Amino acid sequence: MAAMNIVYHYQGKLYVNLTNRCTNRCKFCIRYTPSGVDGIDLWLEREPRADEVKKALEENDFTKYPEIVICGYGEPLMRFETAMEVCRYIKDNSTAKIRINTNGHASRVAGFDVTPKMEGLVDTVSISLNAKNAAEYNEICVCQFGEDGFYEMLDFAKKAAKYVPEVVLSVVDVLPEEDIEQCRRIAEDCGVKFRVREYSE
Ligand code: SF4
């Protein structure tokens, strides 16, 4: 049964759950596992309004957290404007750093380059690179934009780096070493950081 866990705690951090929608259908997506995150049901009965997110942040003492993650059980930047409104609220009322975990398709969804709007509001953008080329990306991520989704994501990363202090492209450590090295070079070419994440089931 869907709940309204708009804000949740996980491993000492505070997360904001804005949407269950996504432009991808990644084969590894936790939305397709029965347990949710740490047993928390993150299926939303409907998408929360910005004022509901702010209220949920208040109820969860958001000012005591050094970092707040805009994440979701879906792709948070499907709701780019709402996400930015929430970031503005957090910035205006706390010293928390803000990280957004995203698939990097926000500009394609919006129909224009949204990256300048993140300036001053977002401290870190973490983007899942997932694969070393477009065909493999689409094989794993089953993107609604097909292989274009890979190039959209790289373009978003490059452009975001002009406005956000830290942009990271990441892969999971299950990839072969040679693939990881190619991904590392892709991140370098984009002018952003690279991170290898530990796989967790
Ligand atoms: S991009 Fe993220 S939310 Fe979307 S399907 Fe992939 S893992 Fe799930």
Which CATH number is 22's domain given? 3.20.20.70
In a domain, 127, yes or no: yes
In a domain, 140, yes or no: yes
CA-72 nearest atom, ligand 1: 3
Query: What pLDDT is stored for residue 69 in this prediction?
Result: 98
Which residues lie closer than 8 Å to 122 by C-beta, 6 or more apart?
87, 98, 99, 100, 163, 164
Distances (CA, A) of 76 to 16, 63, 96, 171: 9, 21, 18, 19
In a domain, 2, yes or no: no
In a domain, 141, yes or no: yes
Q: What is the C-alpha to C-alpha distance for residues 90 and 113, in angstroms, rounded to an integer?
A: 23
CA-73 nearest atom, ligand 1: 3
In a domain, 89, yes or no: yes
Residues with CB under 6 A from ligand 1: 22, 24-26, 29, 31, 74-75, 103, 141
Atom 7 in ligand 1: which residue has the minimum CA distance?
29
Query: What pLDDT is stored for residue 35 in this prediction?
Result: 62
Q: What is the C-alpha to C-alpha distance for residues 64 and 80, in angstroms, rounded to an integer?
A: 25
In a domain, 20, yes or no: yes
Structural domain span for residue 54: 7-197
Q: Helices H, strands E: what count in the chain?
A: 6, 7
Give, for ligand 1, the residue of 25, 26, 150 to mutate: max count of ligand atoms closer than 8 Å to Cβ.
Answer: 26
CA-103 nearest atom, ligand 1: 1
Q: What's the structural domain count of the chain? A: 1
103 Cα–ligand 1 center, Å? 7
Tens digits of pLDDT across the chain (201 residues): 457 899 999 888 999 999 999 999 999 898 887 666 777 888 899 999 999 999 999 999 999 999 999 998 899 999 999 999 999 999 999 999 999 999 999 999 999 999 999 999 999 999 999 999 999 999 999 999 999 999 999 999 999 999 999 999 999 999 999 999 999 999 999 999 999 998 775
In a domain, 1, yes or no: no
Query: What pLDDT is stored for residue 31 in this prediction?
Result: 85
Q: Which amino acid is at 14?
A: L
Query: What pLDDT is stored for residue 11 in this prediction?
Result: 86
CB-based burial label for 110 (10 Å; 0-12, 13-18, 19+): middle
Q: State CA 124 to chain mean position distance.
A: 10
Query: What pLDDT is stored for residue 33 in this prediction?
Result: 74
In a domain, 113, yes or no: yes
Query: What pLDDT is stored for residue 72 in this prediction?
Result: 80
